[in-house]
Structure 1
Amino acid sequence: MGENNAFLSKEIAKENKKLCSSSLKAIDTDLAKAEKAIDQLIQSDPQLRRLFDLVTSVPGVGKITATQVIICTNEFKNIDTAKKFACYSGVAPFKKESGMYKGKTMVSNMANKKVKMLLHLSALVAIRYNQEIKDYYRRKVTEGKKNKMSVINADRNKLILRIFAGVNRDREYEKNYAKLVA
């Protein structure tokens, strides 16, 4: 509501805030009820709860992103590989080429924008709080070969790969994973 203060007089802005406050409270109440219902649904189904725990074990992936990933993949039944989900969410780059023409590599604009936005926010959180991804981001940006958005896109892809690795192996994300050599 504060954005109107620069355009409206103080009296009109105050009246506007007064008129809209009950609607905003009702929306907040409805959102809280919806979130509670989603949480109860996840907790009531053991398979759904297990998938939710696996997805949220990846650093940077929160409750909302995990819920959206589980919904979009139909509990990882319809989209079962990281590559398919990266294409679906608009993270996978495609080369623009035809015959002799070699264009730039770009991501598809026919992606699920909501999932892409949630993955973007998760990548920003991971860059900020996950040391491994933070180091990767800094290294790639300082190399100067890639701009920041393409590096964030690579971080989104890393999150997708980690989510699907955990779900396909039925294991939570391990920060210090050591591969067993037989």
Structure 2
Amino acid sequence: MSKQISVVQKQMEGIIKENESMFRNYGLLNTINGVGPQTAFFMIAYTANFTKFKSWRKFASYCGIAPFPNRSGTSVRGRTKISHLANKEGKVLFHLCAMTAIQCVPEMRVFYQRRLKEGKNEMSTLNIVRNKLLARAFAVVKRGTPYVDTMGYAA
């Protein structure tokens, strides 16, 4: 099984390397801490190399990580929730990326711990981290420059 996975991985890398813009976007996505090769492959494939979705918010909605308010008219009934009608593969990938970012990226860890100390829900905070990673991915590709961690420069 692991041999088959490595063969498929090499085929995906070969396809990405054939197209110059896909290869550039793949490299840019891998500069973001917390986003790995599998997530980069997924984003390039499902966004048609970032041409299918106009904004990261629309792609977040497609992946099922965009929050939707639970309202009826003027009354607020319940808390904000995410849709269960989503691309589950993308949702899982971004969840794993968010968990990795919380463990390995100091900025995300500080943000996550601060929200939990404020008494916020753990899953809603995790969903915010997912959306932050997705927004960074779209921003990096749109700018065409690698991600720069600005937390180290703040004084």
Look up the match of 1:13: none
Following the alignment from structure 2 to structure 1, what is the Cα–Cα distance between the partners of residues 111 and 51? Answer: 31
1:115-147 residue CA offsets vs partner (Å, 9 max, x unmatched): 010000000000001000000000001111x21
Among 97, 111, 117, the residue aligned to 1:136: 111
Look up the match of 1:58: 32
Cα distance, 1:44 vs structure 2: 2.3
Following the alignment from structure 1 to structure 2, what is the Cα–Cα distance between the partners of residues 118 and 108? Answer: 16
Per the alignment, in what secondary structure is the counterpart of residue 140 of structure 1?
A: helix
Higher RCO (CA 8 Å, separation ≥ 6 residues): 2
Following the alignment from structure 2 to structure 1, what is the Cα–Cα distance between the partners of residues 125 and 14? Answer: 36
Following the alignment from structure 1 to structure 2, what is the Cα–Cα distance between the partners of residues 41 and 95? Answer: 40
* Identity between Structure 1 and Structure 2 (%): 36
Aligned length: 150
Where has structure 1 moved over 6 Å in runs of 4 or more?
A: none
Look up the match of 1:110: 85
TM (norm. structure 1) is 0.79
Look up the match of 1:86: 60
1:165 has 2:139 as partner: yes
Give the aligned residue type for 1:82. Answer: W
Cα distance, 1:109 vs structure 2: 0.8
Give the aligned residue type for 1:117. Answer: V
TM (norm. structure 2) is 0.92
1:151 has 2:125 as partner: yes
Per the alignment, in what secondary structure is the counterpart of residue 80 of structure 2?
A: strand
User: Matches of residues 40-59 of structure 1 in structure 2 within 5 Å?
Assistant: 40-59=14-33
Structure 1 residues not aligned, in runs of 5+: 1-26, 178-182
